[in-house]
Chains A and B, each alone.
Chain A
């Protein structure tokens, strides 16, 4: 099943994107329950909260680009920094080893970059719609 992100009345907020990214890169299996479920939800929320600032910076960058007709782009480095920050907050959790492994790091980097590119696209599209 594909996930959809819907925001009525405007573009998606950094908070919308942050939660969507957190749910994509740290998925909680339906079989997880009890204390482990609580821990997992806590970490997922922490990841989302961490991503809000990262994602807001991308939205702000794209709005500046559209206002000034510039091409500032720091998506790649920003995504990498976000992955490293998530690895840091996962320390001392049951998922520390998993999140610090190469496969998760690569998938998370790809997903965050993908979402950041989508954020830029949405901002451009709204800008075009209202010109």
Chain B
């Protein structure tokens, strides 16, 4: 079967439903009050969007799974879960978790614009297995959307597998976050590696096309 390098058509549609957040990470400082939903005295709200995940890196005062419910001012946000402690700390605020899943050397399925969900990879038994590879792939760090001329694009850090022994022929980018209809595993893009690529007790890195020539570009 075949793999092509392309946006998934379903992901293009889902963009209009606010079903993907590609924002890169932000790490502002701020304060929580036990029992309150607000985070105050934020050093910055730049790059923050409603729905982004909020993690308290210091004291764990913000419960797991909290997301931004509203941006109230230049120094305050409201989150979806009340704080369990009063503290001033550093927050890690991130967009959706995008994972790169590797396809094995001889896939049964076809992966390209029509691919919609990670479940297609698993049901076909097409995911790589081997030393240094964990089922579900590697979560990449988003690079916030940017503009070049009349194009807008998003990209990610290059995923690497170390101490790795496996063979692969392509990859699928999967949004692990549940947004649209509570469905996780929606696919965003697919990548062809131009043939079977093998690594032995070494390092396998996918060099994503450089901005502004990324696959995920809106012209």
Residues of A within 8 A of B (CB): 1-12, 20, 24-25, 103, 107, 110-111, 114-115, 117-118, 121-122, 125-126, 129-130
A7 near B202: Cβ-Cβ < 8 Å: yes
* 8 Å CB interface, B166-219 against A: 171, 191-194, 197-212, 215
Chain B interface mostly: strand
CB of B73 within 8 Å of the partner chain: no
Q: A2-B191, A122-B162, A129-B162 are in contact. Are A9 and B202 (CB under 8 A)?
A: yes
Least CB distance from A69 to B in Å reads 18
Instruction: Name A1's contact: one of B148, B194, B201, B202 (CB within 8 Å).
Output: B194
Q: B163 and A8: CB pair below 8 A?
A: no
Interface contacts beyond A114-B158, A121-B160: sample of 13 additional A-B pairs, CB < 8 Å, sorted by A:
A1-B5, A4-B205, A4-B206, A5-B203, A8-B199, A9-B200, A9-B202, A10-B203, A110-B210, A111-B211, A125-B162, A126-B162, A129-B163
Distance from B130 Cβ to chain A, minimum over Cβ atoms (Å): 13
Name the residue of chain A whose CB is nearest to the CB of B212.
A107
Q: Which residue of chain A has the shortest Cβ distance to B189 in the bound complex?
A: A2
Determine whether the beta carbon of B171 is less than 8 Å from that of A2: yes
Chain B residue numbers with a CB within 8 Å of A125 are 160, 162
Task: Tell me if B86 is interfacial: C-beta within 8 Å of chain A.
Answer: no
Q: Is the CB of A2 within 8 A of B208?
A: yes
Task: Give the nearest-CB partner of A128 in chain B.
Answer: B162
Closest 4 CB pairs of A and B: A2-B191, A8-B202, A125-B162, A118-B158
Q: How far is the CA of A114 from the CA of B198 in the complex (A)?
A: 24
The answer for the CA separation of A8 and B161 in the assembled complex, in Å, is: 12
Q: Please pick, from A5, A10, A24, the residue contacting B205 in the complex, using a CB distance under 8 A.
A: A5
Q: Could you tell me the distance between the alpha carbons of A20 and B193 in the complex, rounded to whole angstroms?
A: 15
Contact A122 B157 (CB under 8 A): no
Contact A2 B193 (CB under 8 A): yes
**A103 to B146 CA separation, bound complex (whole angstroms):** 13
B198 (CB) vs chain A CBs: closest residue: A6
Task: Report whether over half of chain A's contact residues are helix, strand or loop; otherwise say mixed.
Answer: helix
* Distance A98 CA – B198 CA, assembled complex (angstroms): 36
From A7, A111, A122, B210 is in contact (CB under 8 Å) with A111
Closest CB-CB distance, A36 to chain B, in whole Å? 22
Bound complex: CA of A114 vs CA of B157, how far in Å?
Answer: 7
In the complex, which residues of chain A have a beta carbon less than 8 angstroms from the beta carbon of B191?
A: 1-2
Residues of B close to A110: CB separation below 8 A: 210-211
Q: List residues of chain B with CB within 8 A of the CB of A11.
A: 162, 203
Contact across chains for A8 and B201 when beta carbons are under 8 A apart: yes
Chain A residue at minimum C-beta to C-beta distance from B208: A2
Are the C-beta atoms of A6 and B193 separated by less than 8 Å?
Answer: no
30 residue pairs from A and B, CB less than 8 Å apart:
A1-B192, A2-B5, A2-B191, A2-B207, A2-B208, A2-B215, A3-B206, A5-B203, A5-B207, A6-B197, A6-B199, A7-B202, A8-B199, A9-B202, A12-B203, A12-B205, A24-B207, A103-B149, A111-B210, A111-B211, A114-B157, A118-B157, A118-B158, A118-B160, A121-B160, A122-B160, A122-B205, A125-B160, A126-B203, A129-B163
CA distance A12 to B163 in the complex (A): 12
| Chain B positions within 8 Å of A10 at CB level | 202-203
- The closest CB in chain A to the CB of B171 belongs to A2
